[in-house]
Amino acid sequence: MLKVILKVLSVSVVLSSITYANNPWDPRLYAGVSLGGTSLKSQNTFNVQNMGNIQASKKASGNSVHGDLIGGYEISNKIMFAGIEVHAGLSNLATESLLDIAGVQHPFTIESTSGCGVALHVGKFVDQEHRVYLKAGLDVKNFNAHLKGNNRFANHTKSFRNIGFVPGIGVEKKLSDTVIFRTEYKVSLYSSETFSSQHVTHKMKPTTHHLSAGFHFKI
């Protein structure tokens, strides 16, 4: 997917340079901050071996405030722009639910507090002050999953790092020659993870949705 994005980005740059030769590319470095909301949805399947391979499943969800530091490099002319961006963020994202195993309710939680990522973006100026863009990249996020046990199986706890593919869309407004205001939506599609403890096998597939707003500044 990233190879396709890179090809599209390079072709767009070449075509724009040919078509708009009178509008030279303007490179810039930028840094900024964003704040918004994040929701986590996860499909979970459990297999308890010492209880006759009992299987149980649970959809878990939760919401949180999320903050990011961002930095990037971009080239633009009067028609379009393209670039690469990195980010690192913190949240207190957590889900709390009860998992029914053989008629007994077991507390089950998922937490995610930090993550980082990189993305390519390409967009177009709507007018002199507004522009829209599409982006795609990869996010790395830390997760903690915990299932409370009983006298039949021990507590099941796992901390892991997952990589997800992240498409997104955004709108920006130019406030000055150095300051741009941004609103953005993106979804992080993480891969399935399967891990085992003493008596429990757990398969988890998380997805996060992000809606944020912030500012970035030309360096």
Q: What is the model's pLDDT at position 34? A: 97
Which residues sit opposite 161 in a β-bridge? 142
Q: What is the model's pLDDT at position 1? A: 53
What burial class does residue 219 get, using C-beta atoms within 10 Å of its C-beta: 0-12 exposed, 13-18 middle, 19+ buried? Answer: exposed
3-state secondary structure of 58: strand
Could you count the other beta carbons within 10 Å of the beta carbon of residue 85? 19
Question: Which amino acid is located at 206 in the chain?
Answer: P
Question: Which amino acid is located at 147 in the chain?
Answer: L
d(CA 124, CA 181) in angstroms, rounded, equals 16
Q: Which tokens sit at 171?
A: 């709108």
Which CATH architecture best describes the domain 2-218? Beta Barrel (2.40)
d(CA 180, CA 105) in angstroms, rounded, equals 50
3-state secondary structure of 198: coil
Contact assessment for residue 165 and residue 136, using Cβ atoms and an 8 Å cutoff: yes
Contact assessment for residue 58 and residue 44, using Cβ atoms and an 8 Å cutoff: yes
Q: What is the model's pLDDT at position 163? A: 94
Q: Which tokens sit at 92?
A: 């207190």
d(CA 192, CA 198) in angstroms, rounded, equals 20
Q: What is the model's pLDDT at position 5? A: 45
Q: Which tokens sit at 77?
A: 């002319």
pTM: 0.81
Which residues sit opposite 216 in a β-bridge? 32, 180
Mean pLDDT of residues grouped by 10 in the chain (219 residues)? 49 45 74 95 85 81 94 93 96 86 86 93 94 97 88 82 96 94 96 83 91 95
Closest CA to 118 of 157, 168, 84, 160: 84
